[in-house]
Amino acid sequence: MNDTIIIGTGHNALVAAFYLAKGGRKPLVLERRAVVGGCAITEEFAPGFKSATLAHAFGPLRPSIVRDMHLERRGVQFVRPDPRLAAIAPDGRALLFSTDPRRTADAIRQFSSKDADRYPEFCDTLVRLGEFIGELLEMIPPSIDAPSASELWELVKTGRRFRGLGKRDAFNLLRWGPMAVADLVGEWFETDLLQASIAARGIFGTFMGPWSAGTSAVLLLGAASDPLPGGSSVTAIGGPGAVTRAMAEAAREAGAEIRTSADVTRILVKDGTVSGVRLADGTELAAPLVVSGVDPRRTYLDLVDPMDLEPGFITRIRNYRVPGTVGKINVALRGLPAFRGVGADAARLRGRIHIGPSIDYLERAYDASKYGEISEFPYLDIAFPSVVDPSLAPAGKHVMSIHMQYAPYRLRDGLSWAGRRDALADTVMRTLEEYAPGVTGLVEHRQIITPLDLETNYGLTGGHIFHGELSLDQLFTMRPTLGWGQYQSPVTNLFLCGSGTHPGHGLTGGSGQNAAREILRRL
Ligand X SMILES: Cc1cc2nc3c(=O)[nH]c(=O)nc-3n(C[C@H](O)[C@H](O)[C@H](O)COP(=O)(O)OP(=O)(O)OC[C@H]3O[C@@H](n4cnc5c(N)ncnc54)[C@H](O)[C@@H]3O)c2cc1C
Q: What CA–CA distances, in Å, run from 61 to 113, 240, 345?
A: 34, 11, 28
Q: Is 480 in the site for ligand X (CB under 6 A)?
A: no
Q: Residue 58: CA atoms inside 13 Å, Cβ hemisphere, count? A: 28
| Residue 233, SS3 per DSSP | coil
Q: Is 498 in the site for ligand X (CB under 6 A)?
A: yes
Near ligand X by CB under 6 A: residue from 194, 326, 448, 491:
326
Q: How far is the CB of 204 from ligand X (least distance, A)?
A: 7
- The span from the CA of 292 to the CA of 342, in Å, is 44
- The span from the CA of 192 to the CA of 202, in Å, is 16
The dihedral through the CA atoms of 512, 41, 5, 248 has a sign that is: negative
Residues 6+ apart with CB under 8 A from 462: 297, 321, 322, 323, 324, 409, 451, 455
Letters for 389-408 (x = contact with ligand X by CB under 6 A, - = none) are --------------x-----
Near ligand X by CB under 6 A: residue from 499, 514, 516, 519:
499
- To the nearest 5 percent, what fractions of the chain are helix, strand and coil? 40, 20, 40
Q: How far is the CB of 301 from ligand X (least distance, A)?
A: 12
Near ligand X by CB under 6 A: residue from 27, 38, 202, 462:
38
Q: Is 115 in the site for ligand X (CB under 6 A)?
A: no
Looking at beta carbons only, is 40 or 400 nearer to ligand X? 40
Q: How far is the CB of 111 from ligand X (least distance, A)?
A: 26
Q: Is 304 in the site for ligand X (CB under 6 A)?
A: no
Looking at beta carbons only, is 31 or 115 nearer to ligand X? 31
- Among 136-144, 406-414, 428-436, 459-467, which window interacts with ligand X (CB under 6 A)? 459-467
Letters for 134-163 (x = contact with ligand X by CB under 6 A, - = none) are ------------------------------
Looking at beta carbons only, is 131 or 263 nearer to ligand X? 263
Beta bridge partners of 276: 268, 286
Letters for 240-269 (x = contact with ligand X by CB under 6 A, - = none) are -----------------------xx-----
φ and ψ at residue 62, rounded to 5 degrees? -60, 130
Near ligand X by CB under 6 A: residue from 466, 484, 487, 495:
466
Residue 479 in contact with residue 500, Cβ under 8 Å? yes
Residue 55 in contact with residue 240, Cβ under 8 Å? yes
Q: Residue 185: which of 370, 382, 362, 348 has the closest Cα? A: 362
Site size toward ligand X, by CB under 6 A:
40
Looking at beta carbons only, is 50 or 403 nearer to ligand X? 403
HEC profile for 72-84? Answer: CCCCCCEECCCCC
Letters for 172-191 (x = contact with ligand X by CB under 6 A, - = none) are --------------------
Q: Which amino acid is at 134?
A: G
- Among 3-11, 130-138, 359-367, 475-483, which window interacts with ligand X (CB under 6 A)? 3-11
- The span from the CA of 419 to the CA of 451, in Å, is 13
Q: Is 226 in the site for ligand X (CB under 6 A)?
A: no
Q: Is 55 in the site for ligand X (CB under 6 A)?
A: yes
Near ligand X by CB under 6 A: residue from 17, 20, 21, 54:
54
Residues 263-302 interacting with ligand X (rule: CB under 6 A) = 263-264, 293-294, 298
Residue 85 in contact with residue 197, Cβ under 8 Å? yes
| Residue 61, SS3 per DSSP | coil
Near ligand X by CB under 6 A: residue from 465, 470, 494, 519:
465
Looking at beta carbons only, is 116 or 428 nearer to ligand X? 428
Where are the extended beta strands (E) located within 287-351? 289-292, 326-333
Q: What is the layout of strands, in order, in the sheet containing 85-88?
A: 94-97, 85-88, 352-355, 379-383, 398-405, 326-333, 443-449
Where are the extended beta strands (E) located within 182-224? none
- Whether cis (ω within 30° of 0) applies to the bond prior to 406 is yes
- The span from the CA of 36 to the CA of 298, in Å, is 19
- Whether cis (ω within 30° of 0) applies to the bond prior to 83 is yes
Looking at beta carbons only, is 120 or 306 nearer to ligand X? 306
- Among 169-177, 246-254, 385-393, 503-511, which window interacts with ligand X (CB under 6 A)? 503-511
Q: How far is the CB of 148 from ligand X (least distance, A)?
A: 27
Looking at beta carbons only, is 191 or 405 nearer to ligand X? 405
Q: How far is the CB of 14 from ligand X (least distance, A)?
A: 7
Q: Is 459 in the site for ligand X (CB under 6 A)?
A: yes
Q: How far is the CB of 302 from ligand X (least distance, A)?
A: 7
Residue 118 in contact with residue 188, Cβ under 8 Å? yes
Letters for 5-34 (x = contact with ligand X by CB under 6 A, - = none) are --xxxxxxx----------------xxxx-
Binding region for ligand X (CB under 6 A): 7-13, 30-33, 38-40, 54-59, 263-264, 293-294, 298, 326, 328, 403, 454, 458-460, 465-467, 498-499, 506-507, 511
